[in-house]
Structure 1
């Protein structure tokens, strides 16, 4: 493989610095030679024609930084090719590395995913020494962590972890190991050598239409929360997508309205038609860059208010904001939507994810519940 530091002129006039990984070539079925290349864009830019001392200095410093990264990448390739250990990286502590990954998730991912990483970190601090370095990571260490999650880990209420919590936390631990291997902290991908926990089928709490109607009539302390929750019930959008929704993503096209957005969880682009009532919940259009649900926040205050709101509406269920998405799926299926359409609306990548909701509304199962004739019972 040939590694080269290159430059590219951008439309805005800047010069972008990137690394090209040339992996040779192959011939396709038509006999045409195809060159195999990967690119790493460094997000470093040069002034095309520096006129001032400041711009010349910035170019010099930027180019020096790019050269340093380029030198590191070449060294990493040589270490990987000859199975050499990076002595600097191998001396880094595992927990500090996991903490940095967790901070990255806070910036990039949904609050729910970050919360899982944060909880995993708190558990790892109980089983991993703060001084343990990557050089000490081996299969016995991996087994020790797995055994902790399987037998010893407890919730804040001192209860054993649920099966899905074991699955989630250990999956984050394995993801960190894979990442560390990819980045050269480990020469062995230990994540591939240990079995994950089985994921249990979780109960998906949802609202019936009558319960949703009761909520719609009941008082909620925070109007923006009520609008956002009901909008999620009618559209199926996740909290993360509703929270970041801007007016530029809401398209009014004659009699119809739709939302064009990029899913926070899957990074997939979605084009979702919404009902007239859902559009009415959004209110009057604001500036293109304005958030649609101004003032919506994530935290214990709003989570608690959802519970109190349900109590006022006499809905005896433990409802969270995500229950609105489950509600949307169930109501669509109960009112005749086919599973493929529901899957597309929810942005599921696999139909089996949506099939869980089909199980909830299985009409044949409902009919079977009443198929046995009534008994004359005397107690």
Structure 2
């Protein structure tokens, strides 16, 4: 969760932008917990003061959720409790926001044949809080691209009603994905699409999941990522080029020796480093919250400690650009080193 910016009344914003209604808020309690509530905005009302002057006042209303967070979680269990509680609270905020739209604009998100599935998917992505959010976005984009590229469904590219999302359309989409992506890409995108349709059924948006019985299998003969030899690693480390990103270089070399994924190395802070015992401690992003073995401890030698350096506890060890930018830089780097392998 982002850093808490407390107001004078010990409340703070957890989720919501300036135009969002309601906003998810927290209030610090004296027992070491934060109480969660929703803050609704109902516009401005004219108020007359005691001295007879009139002025505009924001009309707000709070809804306590009966949910609480640990202010300073000390154990993995408390951190997991915070994560699960936040997911519930954010889902409630999303549902209350849709109820407001329904009353104010006659817009029905649930149980209405006029709902736009594409708009619902976009709203689902915006409220999604899990680690694979980027893949959910990827599935939304791929489905929109499929509608635009397919003459039979082109008219649905802006608005798609629940009854128009048929099993036949899903089968065509699965075939489109298998032509568009190589390796495990089609399977990964379709898995996130199925996740959205399952959520739509649970939310009452569609009556039956059109993805049932539709499967994209992973080709066991698919080319896997290549592995660098020790000689290639040495060649890469000694290769420099004009305009190289030193942070990408430093992070990738660190990953070579520690076996870290990009999703793990990008979030490392100096607080993860135990300098006295020469250890790196962190939780793997891929299994965090789903496995008791998500915690990782890596011994650090002098070379790795030099790569890490020192900084403020909350500062990132490797301030990296986006995943896409890192891959582009890596492809350029390996090419300059004369390495013709698929390295990520």
Shorter-chain TM-score: what band? 0.5 to 0.7
Distance 1:205 1:11, change over 3 A: farther
1:319 is displaced (CA, Å) by 1.9
Q: Work out whether 1:235 is the aligned partner of 2:258.
A: yes
Give the match for residue 249 of structure 1: 272
Question: Which of 292, 295, 298 matches 2:322?
Answer: 298
Distance 1:206 1:115, change over 3 A: farther
Distance 1:64 1:266, change over 3 A: closer
Give the match for residue 61 of structure 1: 61
1:299 is displaced (CA, Å) by 5.5
Equivalents in 2 of 1:238, 1:278: separation in Å? 16
- The DSSP-based 3-state class of the residue aligned with 1:63 is strand
Equivalent residue runs for 1:128-147 within 5 Å: 128=153, 129=156, 130-137=158-165, 141-147=166-172
Distance 1:86 1:93, change over 3 A: closer
Question: Which of 113, 130, 138 matches 2:135?
Answer: 113
1:177 is displaced (CA, Å) by 0.7
Give the match for residue 235 of structure 2: 214
Give the match for residue 16 of structure 2: none
Equivalents in 2 of 1:217, 1:241: separation in Å? 25
Equivalents in 2 of 1:224, 1:312: separation in Å? 18
- The DSSP-based 3-state class of the residue aligned with 1:273 is strand
Give the match for residue 182 of structure 1: 202
1:9 is displaced (CA, Å) by 9.4
Question: Which of 290, 297, 305 matches 1:279?
Answer: 305
Distance 1:87 1:234, change over 3 A: closer
Distance 1:266 1:123, change over 3 A: farther
Distance 1:86 1:287, change over 3 A: closer
Higher alpha-carbon Rg? 1
Equivalents in 2 of 1:9, 1:59: separation in Å? 23
Equivalents in 2 of 1:14, 1:112: separation in Å? 31
8 Å CA contact retained: 1:146, 1:170: no
1:308 is displaced (CA, Å) by 2.2
Distance 1:98 1:58, change over 3 A: same
CA deviation profile, 1:36-93 (whole Å, cap 9, x unmatched): xxxxxxx548xxxxxxxxxxx9997113899xx69x89xx9xxxxxxxx986554311
- The DSSP-based 3-state class of the residue aligned with 1:185 is coil
8 Å CA contact retained: 1:249, 1:259: yes
Q: TM-score with structure 2 length normalisation?
A: 0.61
Q: Work out whether 1:204 is the aligned partner of 2:225.
A: yes
Equivalents in 2 of 1:153, 1:198: separation in Å? 10
1:248 is displaced (CA, Å) by 1.1
8 Å CA contact retained: 2:271, 2:314: yes
Distance 1:151 1:183, change over 3 A: closer
Equivalents in 2 of 1:198, 1:237: separation in Å? 27
Give the match for residue 15 of structure 2: none
* Structure 2 unmatched runs, 5+: 1-26, 40-56, 67-91, 100-107
Equivalents in 2 of 1:151, 1:114: separation in Å? 17
Give the match for residue 84 of structure 2: none
CA deviation profile, 1:193-222 (whole Å, cap 9, x unmatched): 223111123412221111111111111512
8 Å CA contact retained: 1:307, 1:319: yes
Cα RMSD (Å): 3.9
Equivalents in 1 of 2:322, 2:34: separation in Å? 40
Equivalent residue runs for 1:38-57 within 5 Å: 43-44=37-38
Higher share in helix: 1
1:181 is displaced (CA, Å) by 1.3
CA deviation profile, 1:90-122 (whole Å, cap 9, x unmatched): 4311111222334456x7536863563354234
Distance 1:101 1:236, change over 3 A: farther
**What is the aligned length?**
252
Equivalents in 1 of 2:206, 2:111: separation in Å? 11
Q: TM-score with structure 1 length normalisation?
A: 0.56
* Structure 1 unmatched runs, 5+: 1-7, 18-42, 46-56, 77-84, 156-160, 321-379
Distance 1:287 1:228, change over 3 A: same
